Structure 1
């Protein structure tokens, strides 16, 4: 009887987690459906902030949300090594939460570890292909690595679902770099 109760409790908890993740996905889907149709940059920025607010909230573990906030603060204060450990722990705890990977990619970028950052960005995009923040970061790394065509492709990918994305302003600058390089 005790095993049966434990099994039922496991199913209930598992269903709760799946429901929370599903609810978060539904919210994101609705926000992105609106984002792709908006041509007003002010309204798009409001939707962008709403999307970020969903991404940075773990769907079912407040402790992971708090760890992400802590790691982000460490990163902002320049304690990259400690922030890296915090994000490593988040990824170990929930490897399916794209924002843990995204924050670690950001730390790697700040540490000039571009290969590691690109690897984490690939993981972010495998979980959340619409992650315009990761795509923008990817573009910036490609610019630093002088892989300009790849940088443009990253931005263009983001523009598919976020047409008024500010990173679009990088494209003319990148095209200028390409022309300068070919001279």
Structure 2
């Protein structure tokens, strides 16, 4: 009897978790569909903000959302090592939450640990290929590493599903850097 009760509870939790994740995914898909079609920057910025709010909220665990907010505050105040510990903890708890990887990638970027940041960005993009924030961060790292063509490719990937993305404005500047480098 206890085993059956345990099985039913485990099944219910699994269904709830899957349902919450698919609900969040459906909302994101809808927002990205709108983002691809929007033709004014004000609407695009509003859609972007909605997408960020979903990414920053764990689909099933409010404690992880609170930890992410705490780690983000630490990062904003310059306490990178403590923020890194917080994000490490979140990733151990849920390695499939793209935003935890993205925040840790940001901390690594701020610490000038570009290889670690790029590794985490790869994890983000494996989980959420449309993560324009991660793609923009990836482009910024490639610029710092003077890998300009890769930077342009990262931005172009983001522009496929976010055509009015502000980071697109970086492409002419990067192309200028490429021309200057070849002189």
TM-score range relative to shorter protein:
over 0.9
Question: Per the alignment, in what secondary structure is the counterpart of residue 112 of structure 1?
Answer: coil
Question: Per the alignment, in what secondary structure is the counterpart of residue 85 of structure 1?
Answer: helix
Q: When the two structures are superposed, what TM-score results if normalisation uses the length of structure 1?
A: 1.00
The answer as to 2:136 corresponding to 1:110 is no
Runs of 4+ in 1 over 3 A off after TM superposition: none
- 2:130 alignment counterpart: 130
- CA-based RMSD: 0.3
Paired with 2:9 and 2:143, the residues of 1 have a C-alpha distance of: 50
Q: How does 1:48-127 map to 2 (within 5 A)?
A: 48-127=48-127
- 2:180 alignment counterpart: 180
Paired with 1:175 and 1:2, the residues of 2 have a C-alpha distance of: 66
Paired with 2:153 and 2:41, the residues of 1 have a C-alpha distance of: 21
Displacement of 1:130 in angstroms is 0.1
Question: Per the alignment, in what secondary structure is the counterpart of residue 95 of structure 1?
Answer: coil
Paired with 1:57 and 1:78, the residues of 2 have a C-alpha distance of: 22
- 2:21 alignment counterpart: 21
Displacement of 1:15 in angstroms is 0.5
- 2:2 alignment counterpart: 2
Displacement of 1:47 in angstroms is 0.1
Superposed CA deviations along residues 23-53 of structure 1, whole A, max 9, x for unmatched, are: 0000000000000001211100000000000
Structure 2, unaligned runs of 5 or more: none
- 1:146 alignment counterpart: 146
Paired with 1:2 and 1:93, the residues of 2 have a C-alpha distance of: 27
- 1:47 alignment counterpart: 47
Structure 1, unaligned runs of 5 or more: none
Superposed CA deviations along residues 62-87 of structure 1, whole A, max 9, x for unmatched, are: 00000000000000000000000000
Q: When the two structures are superposed, what TM-score results if normalisation uses the length of structure 2?
A: 1.00
Question: Per the alignment, in what secondary structure is the counterpart of residue 36 of structure 1?
Answer: helix
Question: Per the alignment, in what secondary structure is the counterpart of residue 109 of structure 2?
Answer: helix
Displacement of 1:179 in angstroms is 0.5
| Count of equivalent residues | 183
Displacement of 1:88 in angstroms is 0.2
Question: Per the alignment, in what secondary structure is the counterpart of residue 96 of structure 1?
Answer: coil
Superposed CA deviations along residues 4-23 of structure 1, whole A, max 9, x for unmatched, are: 00110000011100100000
